[in-house]
Amino acid sequence: MTEPDNTTAAAGGSPLERGVRPPTECSPDGREIWDWADRLSDRVAAVDKLLRLQKQAHTARTTCGSCKAWMTHGCPREVHDNRKGRSQGPSSMSVKCDSFAMTASDAASVAQAEAEIAALQQRLQAA
């Protein structure tokens, strides 16, 4: 069969390509190709989950919607005026303010996401 292209291997390749090289030899039934495709699919899924968890944790740590005071009268970004209705807000995806205090459920989800991130990074490093 043909030799693999070593241009990405010499440059280090993307995080997705590391550890998942196509086979250099192939049997008549092609089982090596299917094994390689299975490993590649697992790595793509792991990298995708890692990126989604990192974004989720970052969003929970940095946005107004994760604050205990969000959507209350105690929120400095949610200004309520009975004469005019809401004059400012909603601030869900705004950058957190100085009085930001994360909710317990968001803190728990961030801790769980960070644990999953560490496990995924370890799994990807080992591969």
Whether residue 33 has pLDDT greater than 60: yes
Instruction: Indicate if the pLDDT at residue 67 is higher than 50.
Output: yes
Q: Is the pLDDT of residue 6 over 50?
A: no
Q: Is the pLDDT of residue 95 over 70?
A: yes
Provide the pLDDT confidence category of residue 24 given band limits of 50, 70 and 90: confident
Angle formed by the axes of helices 104-126 and 31-62, nearest 10°: 150
Percent of the chain with pLDDT over 70: 74
List the chain domain ranges. Answer: 7-126
**Under a CB-based contact definition with an 8 Å cutoff, are residues 87 and 81 in contact?**
yes
Q: Do 50 and 29 contact (CB within 8 A), yes or no?
A: no
Q: Is the pLDDT of residue 51 over 50?
A: yes
**Identity of the amino acid at 26:** C
- Quick one: pLDDT band at residue 32, thresholds 50, 70, 90? confident
Concatenated DSSP letters of 55-70: HHHHHHHHBGGGBTTT
- CA nearest neighbour of 24 among 56, 2, 48, 52: 2
Kindly tell me if the per-residue pLDDT of 23 is higher than 80.
no
**Is the pLDDT higher at 96 or at 90?**
96
Confidence at residue 14, expressed as pLDDT on a 0 to 100 scale: 56
Q: What is the pLDDT of residue 31?
A: 85
Q: Is 100 in a helix, a strand, or coil?
A: coil
What is the Cα–Cα distance from 3 to 29, expressed in whole angstroms? 19
Write down the pTM of the prediction: 0.68
Whether 1 has a pLDDT exceeding 70, the answer reads: no
